[in-house]
Amino acid sequence: MLYPVNDSNPRIKNINTNSVIIKAEVVNIITKNYSRMWTKYVKNIDNLSMGQTTEDIFHNTLLKVMEELSEINEKEVLEYINYKFKMVHFQTKQNQKELYKYQTYIEDANIELC
């Protein structure tokens, strides 16, 4: 589980930019609603898509949200998390579909035994 820590000046190092300031308000909102959101979004941690479970996707979503949000109210943060989770989940499924196009299954291959 992800447990955000409140800090006076927390930062996440982003590959594409310099460090990003994480708003304490966003962390507090996520912390307050974490259990409810986990129950809502994490359905089956046994199925993998591109090596990720829905729990992995959920935590990646929270990290992206903490990185991207500026000071906004709680309702907007929760709506944004809902939107972002759907987008990350959709992209993961699309990546999985793309990967399936290139997989060769043994039963479909023409194997000649000598």
Q: Which helix (H) or strand (E) holds 39?
A: helix 24-41
User: In angstroms, rounded to a whole number, what is the distance separating the alpha carbons of residues 59 and 55?
Assistant: 6
Each residue's pLDDT tens digit, 93-107: 999 888 877 766 655
Residue range 6-18: mean pLDDT, rounded: 52
Q: What pTM was estimated for this model as a whole?
A: 0.52
Residue range 13-25: mean pLDDT, rounded: 65
Which whole-number Å values give the CA distances from 75 to 26, 47, 79, 80, 111, in the listed order? 11, 30, 6, 9, 58
Q: Write out the DSSP string of 74-92.
A: HHHHHHHHHHHHHHHHHHH
Each residue's pLDDT tens digit, 23-32: 888 889 999 9
Supply 20's token pair. 């990003």
Please give the span between the terminal C-alpha atoms of the chain, in angstroms, as a whole number.
52
- Residues β-bridged to residue 49: 52
Taking 60 as the threshold, does the pLDDT of residue 55 lie above it? Answer: yes
Taking 60 as the threshold, does the pLDDT of residue 43 lie above it? Answer: yes
Residue with tokens 């990350």, as numbered in its chain = 88
